[in-house]
Amino acid sequence: MQLLVHGGAGSDPADPDARQAVLEQAAGAGVERSTPVAAVETAVTVLESDPRFNAGVGSAVQSDGEIRTDAGIMTDDRTVGAVCSMPGVEHAISVARLVMEETPHGFVSGEHAVALADAYGIETDVDLWSSRTREKWASLAVPSGGPKPQLEWVHERYGQSDPAGSSSDETAGDPATTRDHDTVGAVALDGDALAAATSTGGRWLALAGRVGDVPQVGAGFYCSPAAAVSATGAGEDIARVTLSRRTARHIERGCDAETATTLAIEEFAELTGATAGVIALDARGTLGSAYNSVAMQTARAVR
């Protein structure tokens, strides 16, 4: 079993050592599982339970003051499960796996996804607010009156003011300029079986109901017989260029995972001018990781 996890692409984190320790813990927990699907789910749940990461209990807040989680999971036979817009669900990746394994569907959303989770014993009604997120949200003057005034406000702030903060001199402590860390993910290989998983709490101060790349097949995650891929970064731009599928296609055409991730990020930057990161694991066991943001932390485990 090989497993690679990421903690999101973004600015320099305020406490990189503590974040790295959790990433190592997640990789260590996942690699002990018996299948790649179980490995990626387990690794991602560890990250969803730590407020240092933008997933689960560390999720971002949307313009109506709600926190909603999304996730996607996929295997090498292209079996897929995805969920989005779930309030009160910490382990979105477990709900995505539930959709993949227990339903005839590939994608379930909103309150129906929450109800499905509850019916199968996945915890719902979880308080996803961290003390840091509460503090940042309380400092904002959010307009009331529905989506139109909120949208004007969102245009000025979307994707900014990361509750986790930044260690750079230019942005530290300034909620108007601090960039966030987007999503967590994992890829795993055991024998010839591959799996990929990505989970997110969205981007900070998005319009209520916004769904980014994470639960979209080929954008935030992808898996084929050749490769497993998880992406992170500017969600709308990742979806526009189907970053995970693009990475896998390079591998399918003969690149190893390291070359493929580098090429995909170069193409992404040229096409969009935005920032992102991607990890991949190919069927030959080669790992790849690339990003054009300031930072993207990863951890690897092998058993």
Q: Mind telling me the catalytic residues?
A: 183
Whether 296 and 232 have beta carbons less than 8 Å apart is answered as yes
Phi, psi (rounded to 5 degrees) for 291: -160, 155
Query: Residues with Cβ < 8 Å from 156, sequence gap 6 or more?
Result: none
For residues 196 and 227, give the distance between their C-alpha atoms in angstroms, rounded to a whole number: 9
For residues 144 and 147, give the distance between their C-alpha atoms in angstroms, rounded to a whole number: 8
Whether 229 and 183 have beta carbons less than 8 Å apart is answered as no
For residues 65 and 203, give the distance between their C-alpha atoms in angstroms, rounded to a whole number: 13
How does DSSP assign 126-142, residue by residue?
-----HHHHHHHHTS--
For residues 89 and 128, give the distance between their C-alpha atoms in angstroms, rounded to a whole number: 8
- Strand 107-109's sheet: what is its strand order? 107-109, 80-87, 68-75, 193-200, 184-190, 2-10, 295-302
Could you tell me which residues are beta bridge partners of residue 86?
Answer: 69
Question: Residue 79: is it exposed, middle or buried by C-beta count within 10 angstroms (0-12/13-18/19+)?
Answer: middle
For residue 181, give Cα distances in angstroms to 92, 165, 188, 223.
17, 9, 22, 23
Residue 168 tokens read as: 């750079």
Residue type at 237? D
Whether 261 and 278 have beta carbons less than 8 Å apart is answered as yes
